[in-house]
Structure 1
Amino acid sequence: MNVSGEKQQHKESIRLADEAVAAAAKIVAQDDYRLQYHVMPEAGWMNDPNGLIYFKGEYHLFYQHHPYSDKWGPMHWGHVTSKDLLHWKHLPIALAPTEPYELGQSGGYGCWSGSAIEQDGVLTLIYTGHVDGRQPMEVQCAATSVDGITFDKHPANPLIAVSPDEGNTGFRDPKVWRHGELWYMVIGSGREGKGQALLYRSADLEEWAYMGVAAESDGTHGDMWECPDLFPLGDKHVLVLSPMNMEGAKNLYMVGEMDYESGKFTPEQEAMLDHGPDFYAAQTLLDNQGRRIMIAWMDHWGAEMAREDRGWYGAMTVPRELVLMLDGKLASRPVPELELLREEGIMVSGVTLAAGESAVWSLKNGQGCEWIVEFDLEGIQAKLLELSLLVSEDGQERTVIRYLPSERKLLLDCCTSGAGDTSISAVTLPETSSTLKLQVFVDRSSIEVFVNDGQYALTSRVYPTALRGGLTMKAEGGSVSLQSLHMWNLKSIGS
């Protein structure tokens, strides 16, 4: 098929996919568990964020998308844009699988994850073409656009037609950035049970030279690294990745030094980006304010409610700014633009709860809300502080945040959240912490908890049968003094 015919085929595939989404969207919009202020598909399946970029005055977020059902299937690239990181506009699907390197016979094919860059006013998507059973199974491809809406696949695709090592496990999810006069690309892979980030270099975004393994697992960080993202932050570089088959972790970051001549990244310390069960495939962008913004996929791994045929699946986290702290670790903080969603609220301070005593604060509409609560850790005499939200009338269903002062441990307990799973997530505050500050975002079927200005984060999907607002605070085994509490309803922005 000639280039003109390929373009027409791609346009027709996108038209059919967009029509399928539009046909289901009105019914899907009635689902009670649709989120109010998070990015989610109008209909169909959503997973990894792709191509995050600030381009011509707008934030662009692409995502892995199956438009024909709410199940994982042949991957397309969905597309939304925003001027303020709050209000997102759905655009036509950007990429559909139409070429031999991305089109197969089963569901295991498509335009898989990747990234976006701008050069001379042209927006270029770099992505993985994947076909189960094909040799090679995964190749790296490009598509370009001048208007940021309609994309043409590069006539020289695939630009990287083969993995540098036939023994590698996986060869996907390219993330591209510019350093000096050259472009660099990390690709997720693995070898002999160790996850890897492979590094390439190019002068023109077309001819790519392999530089070697930029970073590799020490044997404890999973056997394949998905969605690697390597970028400068402060005076360091950060590698964000999603390790497969790593004990106790679905996400990871490493802070260290990058040597562009040798192509080696040397990590100095590491930690999880998010300690909750439903945070994966994080990707970042550098915006026009110089901020490093991160968005990740809020999956709901194995939950019963998520398996139901709801016509849609998947959502993105709230946008978070990554900040390098004085101790060399990362903080992830909700972008301040989210404050513009706040409506009428509650403000209290100076409340002390005796042992066994409870206090309840309620919002008019708790389906979408934010609250910030602060405690002086030195003033906590209780053996247990418990904060309950999304509580059913009979009290059997609830999502609970617990703090155990003797262990300095914070728990997010979703065992009775209505989700059908049994997830309990935990973080341990350092001995130097004198304050416990919690910033919590609730949005119908999601909860995102930020501890001490983003020092830790915990993200989970929840499916409460009763969408009730309110917060119940209880002290056990001693007293607790509340420094301050702020609660707000949040506007529904649609998505």
Structure 2
Amino acid sequence: MTEFEADLDAGDIVHLWQKAPSRTSLSEVVVTGGGSEPVRRAGAHSDDFTRSVFEAPMAGTYRFGWQEPGTAVSLAYSFAPSRLADEGVRLLHTTAKNRASEARYKLHFQAPWGWMNDPNGLCQIDGASHLFYQHYPHSLRWNTMHWGHAVSENLVDWIDQPIFLEPRAELLADNGLTGGAFSGSAIPHAGGGVRVFYTDREDDREPSQEWQITTMSPDMLSAGPSTPIITDRPSIPNFGKDIRDPYVFKGPDGLWKMVVAGADDRGGLVLLYETRDPEAADGWTFVGILHREPLSRSIPAECPGLVALDGEGEGLYALIFGIIGYRDEATRRRNLSYAIVGRFDGRTFEPIARREVDFGTDCYAIQAFQHADGPVGIAWAANWTDVFKDRDFASAMTFPRRFIWQDGQLRMPPVEGVKALRTGVATEALVGAGSVPLARGLGEIEIELATPGAPFRLDFAHPDHGIALVYDGAALELVFDPPGNRVVPRYLTPTTTLKTVRIFVDVGLIEIYADDGLQCATKRIDSDQPISAIELHVDPAAVRTARLWNLRPRLGAAA
């Protein structure tokens, strides 16, 4: 008998994820304790783990047991429904296959178990920000997609919630089928809760098909029955098989709008749909091509978004998207993301300015939403070029970034909430200090040049990777030399007037913000080992400020 124990209050809920060796048999978990008769939870006929639910009838210690190999349990967590938003879930059981890394990502959000990729459904409700994300709970490798969920009051400290959205039951029942609850968005519902939009697909037919789905959640705990809302491809000549990642928002004309991504034979496309349904639940019609990304071949756009700017940008929108499968030949970087600022009248988009989202490229599928402090975006801090089907892959989300239109340029600095991680100045003067240690491998580095454009070099001491941030007066480059013989891209951006740089160092991740987010770089470090020290090389006369802040781990990060 394999088992675990949990101390539960009356009314506490436990979610168990269980399966049998094959779908011809049923798994069984037996719950004992609490002064009541044993309770048996039988799983479904399924090739994958499915959720069973147990509610504690009274306070006490409960034992959850099962016989292997007839039953396997991948995951179990408990929560008190009345305190869920404040306390989150309590992890009770994982396995070696889906256990999250305790060494990495002390500052940045990572899934509490399993695989994670694109952020989804970003929204703010009653002051709390909700982050949903692409998720497979039962291993650290991509598989049939679910949606995970976390909430935050400050966009930095996240509280894990129950798994929110599950794929169609038939996909879990048969490993031969493909599909899942893929990327999408959410809008707050006037009656409470959210309406969610996402993509599902079937690769098991010719041609393969993708379609857009909607569902409601009145309680932010789980999603109700789903309904297809866009099932046909638009009438565009030579349109490809991809139509995905619905992003829904209220347009300037008061109608609900949706952008989805795809491709034709000339490049990536962002498509626009709209509906007059005030609930956004039905009546979606194709408006037209909102943006075409000219490419040498058919490469789909992904994860589009269109977010209204404020301040100096009042009346403007930022169109964001990624290009999956694209390679920049000059730098060998892959899967780049872009933001285009322009005017949107509800049906057409007129570009004004364009920028690359992140020259480090480990900032993919960025999604923006309207926060009380202005538009904010979060991205997956990874890149598909580093993902291999036969290898585990731990990943995190970037820090949330603001979208600020200033002096005719789009800046993407981190949100003010990141300052809540500071615990004090570790070193006030990095210039001439030599090698400066990083406590627990965490730190924030601030550099302000007295002479804009003055060269410098910042070295990061790491046992496995060679890492340096180099500025020669013409380009800012993150020099990255991982172990092995792999060809490494050049992560650089041109700038001759660089004045300020903020660098956040986490275990497994670096984020760089130059000139208040005018240029950004994110780089995932595939190692459990922290950066132990930094060393700044610069002409002292060229520097106004160069300090290192100590940072605390985010709440919920492993100690």
TM-score using structure 1 length? 0.84
Say yes or no: does 1:297 pair with 2:383. no
Per-residue deviation at 1:87? Answer: 1.5
Q: Which residue of 2 aligns with 1:414?
A: 480
Letter in 1 for 2:488: T
Q: 1:213 aligns with which of 278, 289, 303?
A: 289
Cα distance between partner residues in 1 of 2:202 and 2:271: 21
Letter in 2 for 1:284: A
Cα 1:232/1:465, change in 2 over 3 Å: closer
Letter in 2 for 1:237: Y
Cα distance between partner residues in 1 of 2:150 and 2:404: 25
* 1:121-160 deviation per Cα after TM superposition (whole angstroms, max 9, x unaligned): 2411001111212466111111111111121023xx2111
* 1:141-199 deviation per Cα after TM superposition (whole angstroms, max 9, x unaligned): 11111111121023xx2111212238422011000001243100001111113111111
Comparing 232-241 with 182-191, which one deviates more in the overlay?
232-241
Per-residue deviation at 1:57? Answer: 2.5
Q: Which residue of 1 aligns with 2:553?
A: 492
Cα distance between partner residues in 2 of 1:125 and 1:183: 13
Q: 2:400 aligns with which of 313, 319, 332?
A: 319
- How many residues get paired? 460
Letter in 1 for 2:376: I
Q: 1:184 aligns with which of 214, 238, 257?
A: 257
Cα 1:31/1:339, change in 2 over 3 Å: same
Cα distance between partner residues in 2 of 1:362 and 1:199: 50
Q: 1:158 aligns with which of 207, 220, 228?
A: 228
Cα 1:465/1:52, change in 2 over 3 Å: closer
Q: Give the structure with higher Rg (CA).
A: 2
Q: 2:220 aligns with which of 148, 155, 174?
A: 148
Q: Which residue of 1 aligns with 2:118?
A: 48
Cα distance between partner residues in 2 of 1:18 and 1:32: 17
Q: Which residue of 1 aligns with 2:76?
A: 19
Cα 1:487/1:181, change in 2 over 3 Å: same
Per-residue deviation at 1:273? Answer: 0.7
Cα 1:268/1:183, change in 2 over 3 Å: same
| SS in structure 2 of the partner of residue 255 of structure 1 | strand
Say yes or no: does 1:83 pair with 2:144. no
| SS in structure 2 of the partner of residue 112 of structure 1 | coil
Comparing 173-182 with 109-118, which one deviates more in the overlay?
173-182
Cα distance between partner residues in 1 of 2:106 and 2:508: 10
- Determine if contact 1:101/1:139 at 8 Å carries over to the other structure: no
Q: Which residue of 1 aligns with 2:320?
A: 240
* 1:251-270 deviation per Cα after TM superposition (whole angstroms, max 9, x unaligned): 0111112132xx22122221
Q: 1:171 aligns with which of 225, 230, 243?
A: 243
Q: Which residue of 1 aligns with 2:141?
A: 71
Cα 1:185/1:102, change in 2 over 3 Å: farther
Higher relative contact order (CA 8 A, sep 6+): 1
Per-residue deviation at 1:30? Answer: 7.5
Cα distance between partner residues in 1 of 2:298 and 2:499: 32
| SS in structure 2 of the partner of residue 294 of structure 1 | strand
Q: Which residue of 2 aligns with 1:331?
A: 411
Cα distance between partner residues in 2 of 1:335 and 1:270: 21
Cα distance between partner residues in 2 of 1:102 and 1:196: 31
Per-residue deviation at 1:463? Answer: 3.5
Cα 1:416/1:245, change in 2 over 3 Å: closer
Letter in 2 for 1:129: D
Listed as ranges, the gaps of 5+ residues in structure 1 are 1-7
**For 1:321-400, what aligned pairs fall within 5 Å after superposition?**
321-327=402-408, 329-349=409-429, 351=431, 359-363=434-438, 365-377=439-451, 380=454, 385-392=456-463, 397-400=465-468
Cα distance between partner residues in 2 of 1:286 and 1:479: 42
Q: Which residue of 1 aligns with 2:166?
A: 96
Letter in 1 for 2:158: W
